[in-house]
Amino acid sequence: MKGKIAEIFESIQGEGIYLGKKQVFVRFYGCNLACKFCDTKPETFTEYSPRELFDKIADFPYDYHSIAFTGGEPLLQKAFLKEVLQLTKKAGLLNYLETNGALPKELEEVIDLVDIIAMDLKLPSSTQIGELWDKHRRFLKIALRKEIFLKAVICHSTEEEDIEKLLDVIKKSKRRLALVLQPNSYEHDTKLQQKMERFRQMCIDADVVAWIIPQVHKIRGIK
């Protein structure tokens, strides 16, 4: 079995509630979505067996918080991902999965091996690719078995109706979940900041914990 990996590197987490944590990043090649704001479109990859990838991870000094399996979309290569997660879990490492939250069946196959899930909620007015609400609901139901936080990218095009639907998904999960509102780094200006503040107030009014957190690694010029 071989997996397609775009890159492996060590850096700090620049997004979400684990901002600033040192991680080893394993970027999977390929995605099932085509969001208009996507900033990660690798053109090349290297093929690894699960053991070869684990050995690459093991080359890094163990002074990091966790391994961030990111993409692309890692769950597209679920069989390969599962083999790697088994190896890292056995080694006592924390498995941190960054995912677009649209592949519930695939998540079910690896959920027992994952420790932390950073789940995107793809807002139709942000992504311009149509609705994924049903897939997000089914994905979240499975993901709730582990530690999880949610993230939504906010663009100039993002509509209040999508924030209302997002809040409905969170409320119906019947668990207090952290939501990160992340500005589209290509559009981050005063107008977008004001929109995000308004959306955050909607979250507060709905008793949903929400933060505005930009992509700090881009601001700092860190990989």
Instruction: List pLDDT tens digits, range 114-173.
Output: 999 999 999 999 999 999 999 999 999 999 999 999 999 999 999 999 999 999 999 999
- For residue 94, the 8-state DSSP code is P
C-alpha pair distances (Å), 166 with each of 71, 121, 132, 141: 23, 7, 11, 14
The string of DSSP codes covering 182-202 is EE-TTT-SHHHHHHHHHHHHH
Give the whole-angstrom CA distance, residue 23 versus residue 171: 31
Top-level class of domain 3-220: alpha beta
Domain boundaries, the chain: 3-220
Looking at the chain, the whole-number percentage of residues with pLDDT higher than 70 is: 100
- Determine the pLDDT at residue 73: 97
pTM of the entire predicted model = 0.95
The string of pLDDT tens digits covering residues 92-111 is 999 999 999 999 999 999 99
